[in-house]
Amino acid sequence: MCITLTKMFPHTIGIETESGQMTTLVAKRNTTIPTKKAQIFTTCSDNQKCVLVKVKVDRLGTTILLGTVLLDIPPAPRGVPQIEVIFDIDANGTLKLWQ
């Protein structure tokens, strides 16, 4: 008999949008780990010099701010910058984020 055990991430992780809503971009509840996702973001204002990425976790209906990352970018018209952010959840459930 062969049994395969799979690790699952127990919560939904997402990003807070400019409107304050949480979007599930990183991992839905019970996603198999390890997992890695890349997401492209852009700016919502002209000549923005930075982007604030707010990472949130949904624990059975309660949304909690997990952390924030401030990314410096060169000023440009809104919607022009293509900012790739990579989210990596390792086998231990540790989330790493980089640009």
Q: Which residues contact 99 (CB under 8 A, 6 or more apart)?
A: 71, 83, 84, 85, 86
Query: Which CATH superfamily groups domain 8-98?
Result: Substrate Binding Domain Of DNAk; Chain A, domain 1 (2.60.34.10)
Using one digit for the tens of pLDDT, what is the confidence trace for 8-46? 888 889 898 888 888 867 888 889 999 999 988 899 999
For the whole model, what pTM was predicted?
Answer: 0.80
> 58, 22 in Cβ contact below 8 A?
yes
Strands (DSSP E) contained in 8-94 are 8-9, 12-16, 22-27, 31-32, 35-41, 50-59, 62-72, 83-89
